[in-house]
Structure 1
């Protein structure tokens, strides 16, 4: 029995009664069906969220904290069930999906406590009888449009702070991985009806309705640059607030003083986690010329030890890509580089031992340059293209020679290089000797084509609040008509 949607506290099918199918990317077998939401379903969810907002915005900080902590408790209690379903519909190894559940629970716990802190401030007034306040208020209804690679975690990064700030939420999961999010509706069943709503369907219909409706007040989206730009264009017609994280083409610099025992597995981890399907996946590696050969040789040997397979197998290191068109894009990038002189030192093909599923071998390339698509377009797959550089200024210039600016990595023991790196690299997150770690208390987001929004940290809560200035004269004294501009009536 397919999981229904969540609208106004009720589990309901689509008004059309139609469903779409979700397939396991490791086996290409049908996992289940999901309701095919329509524009009418989106409108029902919007109406429910607006009705719930009228009371939810006034819930006390204590009440919201208890409810968000309960979300976290439920996630931990159902980790195995949710992780198993995530693996079936998304392909990630089971151990990674268990991690995703833990990270998601921690996010709800973090914002449960952060929202207890006072917001806004009292500012100096312009006269003795006036009180001047700066208030922070929720926007209203937030549409959270969530990608397929980390559907629960990236949903949590939006929903937890949005709810903590007093907004109500409508979640639209990716059509590639809707099942775990629909099951997650049971995690929210202790919240007041309509505070969280979940509608499954396609971006061109239900997603577009959420963006263009006059009755949604903010759009939070993680996904491709092309889709994010279209969301921004549509939202701009109503000057609607958008919160966009649009992927990256992250660079990894390996300095000549790097410890290769640490750097080799670190680069492999950063590039190949979730088969390279992470927004902050390393997609370009720049290695100092003096160590390029030993680094590359050791990386190739290391990558060849990694095992491909279904995520349900505990021995699997790398699972499948999410679908055939995503695998074709990886193949196109690798093939174009090969045709233009790049050398494939590992991988570069579909694994012959895995006849079914959307697998692609982890691939190490050299002989690439910035004219190759694999060095400037987002690949989102298990590839590690390597270029050698001569000095650190060149490495910084190469890292910045890209339209994206989500994250960047560096391995070095030289503090001077570290300082130059984080001051000059245009990226929202800079990792030094510690690739791809997250911290709920620190902001995450990008620059340039990666978007300018921030999730997590205090900034992640601030993103779901708007500012209001209140001028309050409590004297109730009668003022002359020209007040406060002076007797001439002219504004200064």
Structure 2
């Protein structure tokens, strides 16, 4: 009989058991992978109290010292690359190559924010009377409650962890119940780097701990990444006024004009539509293609997607791993069924993969001849499916692309400079990528509009989200 690893909370610099446990499962096999602490209110309270106590000294620590800790953590993450990557793939399914890339980017994030920690500058403001000096000072907000999803289980913790610690805040992290193993492995890196007790705390659990953290009076800001529905519920249930940042759902469009490099557009759509089995907030969900290049684009994308190998993410030859949850597969199936029922055509894929049962596998799928009323063209599918629709007027394509509550990322393929700037300005999204599908980079602000949330991660803006301003006005008499 296999003995499962015990995954515990990390509170005030100590690994702690909880009174109850749960067992997450490998989405490729449905086998349990660990026994995990299921935190109760007392565990949340202990973590928040530890963070509040640690904040008293951490906020006053010289930024160069905070930077040294972040550099040490970045080095520790790089040193545990294989362990962390395997934990990601084991618990949420993405390919081992993608998991390795996630860990590498996480290490870079710690080093980036280590440097930004030393660049928190204020300002000196002229006064309307002699003998006064006004200073604008940036100060850390306080204790952060971070709630993170499973699709990028380490990066989405890391963005909040790096920036908040660099700013001088302390933090309590509650990861998804589907990805506790990698989160605990990350906190082992924090421990090995010697991070002071209470500065960063980890509380695990299924469902209950998230609302408890949101409602706790000792939390000074909530930082959340996840679904629009959950984000809306969080916003409604915060008991007192406090800062809130949210990165929510996508349903991201791509527009391919008749002046596009079609082969380049196909390559981009195949990558951003199916990477991580389509379970990315900035995944290409719906594509609007000019009728003059529609046939060539559909043929190219169909061939590229049909060639993808689906299987266990631990297999290095796998292109698309399992979806993380059974509910996710159900939603994908419903979206494809809805589209076909309304007249769409599936050119490749379109079914669960029975030979890989009981894993959460769905074929990488291309749905063509789509219309705006289909679910796939206005709701976030969050799976390995892309809908394709033809258009003949660019204004119509822009209107359709902007016509949902999503405002996170949009993609454009065109070789025309005028179209580049027109689409870049008219698309109402926080991130617009032209002739590429990498909508976010670490040193530029990343965030959404409309139903995709508010606040920013990445860049100095990500750091400033954990700072508050103070006006210090001094009469010196000179």
Structures share fold, TM-score greater than 0.5: yes
Give the counterpart of 1:311 among 304, 310, 313: 313
Structure 2 partner of 1:74: 76
Structure 2 partner of 1:302: 304
Q: Is the 8 A contact 1:37 1:206 kept in 2?
A: yes
Q: Is the 8 A contact 1:91 1:321 kept in 2?
A: yes
Structure 1 partner of 2:234: 231
Structure 2 partner of 1:484: none
Unmatched runs of 5 consecutive residues or more in structure 2: none
1:324 positional shift? 0.8
Structure 1 partner of 2:94: 92
1:352 positional shift? 3.3
Structure 1 partner of 2:11: 7
Give the counterpart of 1:152 among 151, 154, 158: 154
Structure 2 partner of 1:409: 411
**3-state DSSP class of the match of 1:44?**
helix
Q: In 1, distance between residues paired with 2:181 and 2:82? A: 15
Structure 1 residues 338-386: Cα deviation after superposition (integer angstroms, max 9, x where no partner): 1111111111101233233100001111122121111111110011110
Q: In 1, distance between residues paired with 2:357 and 2:12? A: 44
Q: In 2, distance between residues paired with 1:202 and 1:88? A: 18
**3-state DSSP class of the match of 2:7?**
coil
> Is 1:215 aligned to 2:222, yes or no?
no
Structure 1 partner of 2:48: 46
Q: Is the 8 A contact 2:120 2:138 kept in 1?
A: no
TM-score, structure 1 as length reference: 0.94
Structure 2 partner of 1:249: 251
**3-state DSSP class of the match of 1:50?**
helix
Unmatched runs of 5 consecutive residues or more in structure 1: 477-492
Structure 1 partner of 2:209: 206
**3-state DSSP class of the match of 1:308?**
coil
Structure 2 partner of 1:194: 198
**3-state DSSP class of the match of 1:151?**
coil
1:57 positional shift? 0.1
**3-state DSSP class of the match of 2:136?**
strand
**3-state DSSP class of the match of 1:31?**
coil
Q: In 1, distance between residues paired with 2:120 and 2:328? A: 45
Structure 2 partner of 1:481: none
**3-state DSSP class of the match of 1:208?**
helix
**3-state DSSP class of the match of 2:311?**
coil
Q: In 1, distance between residues paired with 2:148 and 2:451? A: 18
Count residues in correspondence.
Answer: 472
Give the counterpart of 1:162 among 155, 164, 170: 164
90-99 or 260-269, which deviates more? 260-269
Structure 2 partner of 1:279: 281
**3-state DSSP class of the match of 1:253?**
strand
**3-state DSSP class of the match of 2:453?**
coil
Q: In 2, distance between residues paired with 1:474 and 1:90? A: 60
Q: Is the 8 A contact 1:280 1:436 kept in 2?
A: no
Q: In 1, distance between residues paired with 2:131 and 2:81? A: 56
Instruction: Go from structure 1 to structure 2 and tell me whether the alpha carbon gap of 1:169 and 1:440 turns closer, same or farther (over 3 Å shift).
Output: same
Structure 1 residues 258-307: Cα deviation after superposition (integer angstroms, max 9, x where no partner): 22221112111111010000010000000000110111012111111000
Give the counterpart of 2:184 among 173, 182, 192: 182
Q: Is the 8 A contact 1:50 1:168 kept in 2?
A: yes
> Between Structure 1 and Structure 2, whose CA radius of gyration is higher?
1
RMSD: 1.1
Q: Is the 8 A contact 1:392 1:417 kept in 2?
A: no
Instruction: Go from structure 1 to structure 2 and tell me whether the alpha carbon gap of 1:225 and 1:437 turns closer, same or farther (over 3 Å shift).
Output: closer
Structure 1 partner of 2:340: 338
41-50 or 347-356, which deviates more? 347-356
1:437 positional shift? 4.8
> Is 1:262 aligned to 2:236, yes or no?
no
Structure 1 residues 70-118: Cα deviation after superposition (integer angstroms, max 9, x where no partner): 0100000000011011110010000001000011111111110012114
Structure 1 residues 396-416: Cα deviation after superposition (integer angstroms, max 9, x where no partner): 111111111100001111010
Structure 1 residues 176-232: Cα deviation after superposition (integer angstroms, max 9, x where no partner): 1111101211111111100000000134x2111211111100000000011101111
